[in-house]
Amino acid sequence: MADSPNLVAVTAQNFHQVVIEGSYERPVLVDFWADWCAPCRALMPILAKLADEYRGRLLVAKLNTEEEQALAAQIGIRNLPTVLLFKDGRPVDQFMGALPETQVRAFLEPHLPRAADGLLERIEDRLLAGDLAGAQAALDLARAKDPDNPRLFLVEVQIKAAAGDSQGAEALLDQVPLDLAKDPEVLALRGQLRLANLVAGAPAEAELATRLAADPRDSEAAFLLAVHQAIKGDFAAALAGLLALLKRDRAYGEDAARKTMIMIFDLLGGQDPLVTSYRGKMLSALY
């Protein structure tokens, strides 16, 4: 099988450069094979075809385990064929055996860069800069290039939310595809929209801070200020303010401080150190 820019043979001498370093530029699929292995020979034409088809998006590297026994043993290869996928310098997925082409494609697709990935980065930059028109223009271009990209749905929600159209953003989230329903980014967007709804029409953060400085027992100001802090990502300050309100005035807003703390816990995810710390503090305040 002749080598090409997308299909290369690797040895112990070039494995680090081709596979480890190369995987920072694009995914590298490493096929561990041997001449005596019939399933290996069945898989090779499939990988060669995909290497050519995905040119620029994937490198297929083939390693002869008979010639590179020490390296194969070091990596832990015990069965042939074994195929490892490397990204950003480490193996992220694998399969064993001669899978049919459809299954190899299904294995690869979640890991391959999409045509709209660069545009998605541009959209994020435009949103951070407050350029909603630029973000929408980049989204339209991304849709034309990669209409099936599931991330475009999430970006549209972000644009609507940034434009203040929380109802439109929530309506989109209500139509979220089933395979994205539990995606952490979808859950985070839901949480951000719920927080934004809590301060819709409320005074600005600076005004609330002034009110609270003048009257530390102003529960409304304390609550709304904490929500503003959470929206801008200052979760430590938000949780500290909500915990103080919970201790002082639990009845405010029908237990709003506790409910909002739980909302932030969900937004951050159960393993975040802030969640671990403040969940315990919240329970102590309650009981």
CATH numbers and ranges of domains, the chain: 7-111 (3.40.30.10), 117-195 (1.25.40), 205-286 (1.25.40.10)
Nearest to 60 by CA among 106, 127, 2: 2
DSSP for residue 94: E
User: Quick one: average pLDDT of 47-65?
Assistant: 91
Q: What is the pLDDT of residues 187-240, one digit of tens each?
A: 788 888 888 888 888 999 999 999 999 999 999 999 999 999 998 889 999 999
Helix, strand or coil, per DSSP, at residue 52:
helix
Question: What is the Cα–Cα distance from 62 to 268, expressed in whole angstroms?
Answer: 41
DSSP for residue 11: -
Query: Exposed, middle or buried by CB within 10 Å (0-12, 13-18, 19+), for 116?
Result: buried
Query: Which residues are part of the catalytic machinery?
Result: 37, 40
Q: 122-129, long-range: CB within 8 Å, 24+ apart, which pairs?
A: 123/155, 123/159, 127/158, 127/159, 127/162
89 band by pLDDT with thresholds 50, 70 and 90: very high
The alpha carbon of 34 is separated from its chain's Cα centroid by a whole number of angstroms, namely 37
Question: What is the Cα–Cα distance from 264 to 230, expressed in whole angstroms?
Answer: 8
Pairing state between β 59-64 and 82-87:
unpaired
User: Quick one: average pLDDT of 253-271?
Assistant: 89
Contact 8, 74 (CB under 8 A): no
Phi and psi at 279, nearest 5°, equal -65, -45
Question: What is the Cα–Cα distance from 287 to 282, expressed in whole angstroms?
Answer: 9
3 band by pLDDT with thresholds 50, 70 and 90: low
1 band by pLDDT with thresholds 50, 70 and 90: very low
